[in-house]
Amino acid sequence: MSDELTRAQAIMVSKEHPRYASLILRNKLVEGYQRGIASAHGLIAHGRGEAFDYLLGEQTSESACNATKVACAHLLTARCAVLSVNGNTATLVPDEIAELQEIIGIAVEINLFHPSAQRTKRIADHLRDHGVANVLTGFDFVKLAHIASDRANVDKKGIFKADVVFAPLEDGDRAQVLTELGKTVMTVDLNPLSRTAVTSTVTIVDEVTRALKNLVSLADHVGSDGQRKELNLLKASFDNQENLKASYAIMLKQLRDLSR
């Protein structure tokens, strides 16, 4: 079916389209699917995110920016921080993952909702091609209780031993279980009402490429300009539920404005 997809991409990338940036991302994800990195369900999940991003005005909010700062503080002060990567994240932000690893030294673990050995290998190769080192693939895993999906299998050297788990585009079940295990769970989720958003310790309600770019930029500058103290203060006073409310408010306002 490559004929359809090639044609689709040729049509969609028109700079005049009111939602150009969103369409570019969409094409990137379709390409990731064609390459066997993203899953079919991942495409649908991306669509859900698009709808919520539309209601957020397709831009990073102040509350998302705050959550990103707090996430950065957690990463910088973690005993062992692990970034959990799925197909969509690997497709959309491989360079940012490599940069974050270089700056913070975060471990990277591939953990898929719809796993297969082939897809895990393709994702690992893709991440390595983009400069990510030491990709954990759950070869030596522990099975967490109370998670129905294969995301229960976590790497012994990764999520299992981490105190801070950064899992963009997470699923609700696991976010809750990891939090109950006493881990600090941080996520990127465009739906502020999702179980993932509500049960995580820190939820960045933002589109994942915007969020990761901001996080890399923050991590890159924090040492040099003394922002570290400010980030730690933010971390101490951060209330995830309160912060999520700001996203609801934006969506409500946007819906009201658009419906006029």
Residue 135 near residue 160, CB atoms below 8 Å: no
Q: What are the CA-CA distances from residue 171 to residues 16, 134, 163, 186, 223 (Å)?
A: 35, 24, 19, 12, 32
- Return the SS3 of 134: coil
Q: How far is the CB of 224 from a copy of itself (least distance, A)?
A: 38
- Could you say whether residue 118 binds a copy of itself (CB under 8 A)? yes
- Partnered with residue 203 across adjacent β-strands are 187
Among positions 184-223, residues that touch a copy of itself (CB under 8 A) are 191-193
Among 15, 79, 148, 224, binds a copy of itself (CB under 8 A): 148
Terminal CA-CA length for the chain: 41
Among 13, 133, 233, 252, binds a copy of itself (CB under 8 A): 252
Residue indicated by tokens 């471990």: 107
- Could you say whether residue 50 binds a copy of itself (CB under 8 A)? yes
**Residues in binding contact with a copy of itself, number by CB under 8 A:** 50
Among 129, 143, 146, 149, binds a copy of itself (CB under 8 A): 149
User: Tell me, what amino acid is at 232?
Assistant: N
- Could you say whether residue 57 binds a copy of itself (CB under 8 A)? no
Q: How far is the CB of 218 from a copy of itself (least distance, A)?
A: 27
- Could you say whether residue 119 binds a copy of itself (CB under 8 A)? yes
